[in-house]
Structure 1
Amino acid sequence: IMHGLQKFLLFSVLTCLGEIGHGGKIINGEKAPENSMKYMASVQNKKGRHVCGGFLITEDYVVTAAHCNEAIPTHVVLGNHNLKKGNHEKIDIEKKIKHESYRDVEHGNDIMLLKLSTKAQLGSNIQIIQLPHADMNLEENEVCQVAGWGSTGNLISPDELRVVDVSVINPQSCKEQWSPWLHLPDNAICAGGYGTKKGFCQGDSGGPLVCKGIAVGIVSFNKNFKCKYPDVPNVYMDISKYREWIDKILRTARHFN
């Protein structure tokens, strides 16, 4: 029965994450300051619809969540918080590299690199973000930020990037909160959601959890697809655990270029 419940729950999780094409919500956040978070990428489909978040780590690589591949992204938009105004840099995705062990969000490894067809023009509007070292550990209650594009509860998706502060949750406590529904995947970070009214929601998938200016996590999943706010913590992938995997891909790319 528990296994079936997990599958039902996960279907709900995947259903909500499958609706990433319709945007999502940063819960109780605010408009991101104009000259901040210049590494943010809007991952879009061929219709030009925002389907996931992402973040630029080199001139030609964006990190996002592996489950975002279900929305069939074709390009990214960089360089402006407002997706409908100003100067954007739209770049096609040349290659999508999912983690080889990714199966579904329940089992973790929810990370994907997007190789861009041309290099982004770094400058006043576009910058890269630093990744953590492989041995990084977050402190409990450390305040970090998560950002994304999507509706704020009125079913109309704003075009402007929104950001919210979230606190890192003790890993053991997070496992206990999730345990009635599913076994938390390895390499997870929990921040926001449980016990607060702040966090991410569907449509923010693939965006970064940023602590002290470093992208430490990737938005992966939560439980409540109605977004009336989850009674369990929001779950991210811990980028520090995938640093070697990322570096190997980047090294191989540089070798062949």
Structure 2
Amino acid sequence: MMGYRDEFVLTAAHCQASIYYVHVGLHEFINDQTPKGIGVIRAIRHEHYNEKMKSNDIMLLKLSEKVQFTKHVRQIKLARQLVSLPQNCTVSGWGYSDNRPYMASKLREVNVTVVDSESCAAHHSYCSVGETGPAQGDSGGPLVCENELAFGIVSFRTRSFPINYVFVKIPDYFDWIEHHIMKK
């Protein structure tokens, strides 16, 4: 998930749940020392989300309180438009590690290579190639590229070689995001 403004978080639509808690500034889960999460009062899933086709996989979560920004907690800026294919990208998340049945206890990060793909672009997505990428459970996390901008949201892993991972293309949904935030 990634923050946008001080009371909204952006994630993947397929991460729909009945109850949400958002943790900000968390880098490690330590038993009872993990801070209490912020509740979510409204989930705004894209109205054209298609689970079968995995299209429009984007959702805004409105938090029950504003996030307090500190030197360890800051919002991430979203890419508004795409001039060229983003470079130097990373993905972070808490996904399952090394085929273990539980999520990672420390936030992990991996570099990914985004490629130019007509098929992905037609579906408002970025695609990456390579052996490394998000893990199971990293859905909804940010694809962050040059200038520390969020260009995408982790959506799914594909089996169509050579493409391995698909990310929702934030610049294609920027107007949708703005529209729903302004409605509050």
TM-score (norm 2): 0.88
| Separation (CA, whole Å) in 2 of partners of 1:223 and 1:110 | 15
Please show how residues 96-245 of structure 1 align to structure 2 within 5 Å.
Answer: 96-104=43-51, 106-133=53-80, 135-139=81-85, 142-155=87-100, 156-172=102-118, 175=119, 186-191=123-128, 194=129, 196-212=130-146, 213-223=148-158, 231-245=162-176
Cα offsets for 1:3-41 (capped at 9, x unmatched) = xxxxxxxxxxxxxxxxxxxxxxxxxxxxxxxxxxxxxxx
Q: Which of 1 and 2 has greater Rg? A: 1
**Paired letter, 1:157:** M
The Cα offsets for residues 129-157 of structure 1, whole Å up to 9 and x where unpaired, read as 00112x323427x2200010022214143
Is 1:91–2:38 an aligned residue pair?
Answer: yes
Residue deviations 1:45-97, cap 9 Å, x none? Answer: xxxxxxxxx0111111000000000x434211112211226563510010000
Number of residue equivalences: 180
The CA distance in 2 between the partners of 1:153 and 1:185, in whole Å, is 33
The 2-side partners of 1:65 and 1:105 are apart by: 14
Q: Which one of 172, 177, 181 corresponds to residue 246 of structure 1?
A: 177
Percent of aligned pairs with the same residue?
34
SS in 1 for 2:37: strand
Contact 2:43 2:61 in 1 (8 A): yes
CA separation in 2, counterparts of 1:88 and 1:185?
A: 41
Length-normalised TM-score, structure 1 = 0.64
Separation (CA, whole Å) in 1 of partners of 2:143 and 2:174: 15
Corresponding residue for 1:20? Answer: none
Q: CA RMSD in A?
A: 2.1
Asked if 1 retains the 8 angstrom alpha-carbon contact of 2:127 and 2:163, the reply is: no
Amino acid at match of 2:131: K
Q: For 1:83-113, what per-residue CA distance to the aligned partner results, in whole angstroms no more than 9, with x for missing partners?
A: 2265635100100000111121624110000
Q: Does the CA-based 8 Å contact 2:97-2:135 persist in structure 1?
A: no
Q: Structure 1 89/60 Cα, relative in aligned 2: closer, same or farther at 3 Å?
A: farther
Structure with the larger RCO, 1 or 2 (CA within 8 Å, 6+ apart): 1
Distance 1:147 1:112, change over 3 A: same
Q: Which amino acid aligns with 1:95?
A: R
Which has the larger share of helix?
1
Contact 1:105 1:220 in 2 (8 A): no
Structure 1: any 5+ residue segments left out of the alignment? 1-53, 176-182, 225-229
Q: 1:4 — aligned with what?
A: none
